[in-house]
Amino acid sequence: MSEPRLIVGLGNPGADYADTRHNVGFWFVDRLAAELRAALAPQGRFFGTVGRAGERWLLQPATFMNRSGQSVSALAQFYRIPAEEILVVHDDLDLPPGSIRLKKGGGNGGHNGLKDIQARLGTADFWRLRLGIGHPGERDAVAGYVLKAPRREEREMIDAALDRCLIAWPQLAAGDTAAAQRILHVKPPQESLP
């Protein structure tokens, strides 16, 4: 893994969406910004809220999920950041709450934010930090599910996963994929039960 120079948290802007499952990427960037003491502020030319920590940029697109690529590509092109130095943090329906997976490239799993980023960058070869939010069980229920707040016990598991991401941040920042995955890819408590 290359050292990430752009860390993107996906979500939807505005108070109505702040606590919804779709915004776990925003939650991570908020925590990372606090950890790195990076002030986040709106920047119109990048269509999002932006922070800087040394040579790294933190980004929360303000374009709504399905146009996330507009914001990501604007900042990446301006600072000449290649796809392999971008880490996108997003919600994942295919993982249970509390689960995390770090991977590079691959499909978008129907995630509109990833789909738009792939289209705008012209490649899928960026890193993803997939944060599990669980699945409602029926395909027709997905849109409403991701735009609702997680139940209290789910939120606790997601918060624990976010804590684990911060613990793994030094390894992520150094580009040490294997060491980061050893911290991130542990089974959350509900998966460990017989």
Domain ranges (residues) in the chain: 6-189
- The pLDDT tens digits of the residues spanning 107-161 come to 888 899 999 999 999 999 999 999 999 999 898 899 899 999 999 999 999 999 9
Q: In the annotation, is 185 catalytic?
A: no
DSSP 3-state of 80:
coil
DSSP 3-state of 150:
coil
Is 64 annotated to bind ligand? yes
Q: Quick one: pLDDT at residue 192?
A: 43
Residues 6+ apart with CB under 8 A from 92: 99, 101, 109, 111, 130, 131, 132, 133
Residue 188 pLDDT class (50, 70, 90 cuts): low
Residue at token pair 């069980």: 137
Is 23 annotated to bind ligand? no
First CA to last CA distance, the chain:
34
Q: Quick one: pLDDT at residue 64?
A: 92
Fold of 6-189: Rossmann fold (3.40.50)
The tokens describing 81, both together, are: 């950041």
> Which run of H or E residues covers position 90?
strand 86-92
The tokens describing 103, both together, are: 């991977």
The residue type of 52 is: R
From 22, 111, 135, 185, the catalytic residue: 22
| Strand pairing class (56-61; 86-92) | unpaired
- The pLDDT tens digits of the residues spanning 22-66 come to 999 999 999 999 999 999 999 999 999 999 999 999 999 999 999
Buried b (16+ CB within 10 A) or exposed e, 62-100: bbbbebbbbbbbbbbeeeebebbbbbbbbbbbebbbbbb
